[in-house]
A = this chain, B = another copy of it.
């Protein structure tokens, strides 16, 4: 964590401290406390120091693990598990004990805690800019290395998926399965089977996983459809993998689109266009440019080819119907955004670049690389070929 940047970004909030009430599931909490507590706990940042308050059950681990200046336990405030009011009293006492009479909380902090502190005379303001999230967006070298390591696992999983798809047979009239369905060992190759292979590979490489996408045909035309059922020849199959390192908790993200057999002329054009959109967006990545500029670079490739985007038609349900990318770190989706309104890129931003085209009548194509913004451009953290024909 970069405390100078933290102090700088939080300096004009006008409150005495910054308060988090969350478990390790919350990236702000994990970042500021450094503690992987499974249940919600308090972290207060005040006067340049990080103070953590945990239950007795977590205390031993928290003292070892937390990147905090002080770690206290509930018993230090004579609190025994039970009453909600007593717990809120303890929270208020903890905050006041640090000389803090007013706190900022991030927008997704719990309203129950905010209101309970207010009732006890502590001012609670919402940090609507979610500044800790902005601090997190710029990674240290160690954080970039953690993402790089997760990306290596991602590449091993993509390789396993591509081999499974490339090695499939195609069912003919003579088979039990419907003609055109991909077969492995005589059984239909399903999205679920490919997903399982990806996730087992990630586990073997020290990564946990969220929700892998393996979606073919019309399913691939919905960017958030995870995919299900048999995959088929001649259709585009989107494979989007976002593993999380178990050791570091940092995420990686990569998408490739594969085809077995003969894709339609339209799918071929879409693939080429999308590869060009990816390269145009990557070319635009450098410090000082904005997320909006990078998004525009991808949009322009599609728009020049007559494909709809949200810029040409905000209501379109086909074409390029999402942003060009997002920051990634302890969250899969974090700052900055590569989209309309996306702000200035800075060295240390780790972002995905992932243009795509979608239409239920055609299918979906998306290609996604993971890059870090450097002083003079970007470094691509992705080491995986871009090819439509699975091999």
Q: Measuring CB to CB, which residues of chain A are less than 8 angstroms from any residue of chain B?
A: 25, 38-40, 56-58, 60-61, 75, 80-84, 105-115, 124, 126, 128, 196, 199-200, 203-204, 208-209, 211, 222-225, 314-315, 317, 321-322, 333, 339-341
Contact = CB atoms under 8 A, between A and B. Distances in A.
B108 A126 contact: no
A232 to B, nearest CB: 21
Contacts of A124: 111
A220 to B, nearest CB: 13
A115 B110 contact: no
Contact of A108 (B112, B222, B223, B339): B112
A388 to B, nearest CB: 24
A115 B114 CA distance: 10
Contact of A126 (B60, B111, B317): B111
A224 B82 CA distance: 20
A363 B339 CA distance: 53
Nearest to A198: B203
20 contacts: A25-B25, A38-B224, A39-B333, A57-B321, A57-B322, A61-B224, A80-B314, A81-B341, A82-B340, A82-B341, A108-B110, A108-B112, A109-B110, A109-B111, A111-B115, A111-B124, A112-B128, A114-B115, A203-B203, A208-B209
What 4 pairs between A and B have smallest CB-CB spacing? A107-B112, A111-B114, A108-B110, A111-B111
A29 to B, nearest CB: 13
Contacts of A110: 107-111
Contact of A58 (B57, B112, B224): B224
B81 A340 contact: yes
Contacts of A314: 75, 80
Contacts of A107: 110-113
Nearest to A39: B333
Copies assembled = 2
A101 B268 CA distance: 53
A167 B200 CA distance: 23
Given A57-B321, A110-B108, A110-B111, A204 B196 contact: yes
A222 B61 contact: yes
Given A25-B25, A84-B128, A196-B204, 12 more contacts: A40-B108, A80-B314, A81-B341, A106-B112, A107-B111, A109-B112, A110-B110, A111-B111, A111-B124, A114-B114, A200-B203, A200-B204
A321 B73 CA distance: 15
Nearest to A125: B115
Contacts of A56: 317, 321
Contacts of A200: 200, 203-204
Contacts of A83: 341
Nearest to A223: B57
Given A81-B340, A209-B208, A315 B108 contact: no
Nearest to A360: B60
Contacts of A80: 314
Contacts of A211: 38
Contacts of A224: 38, 57-58, 61
A208 B209 CA distance: 8
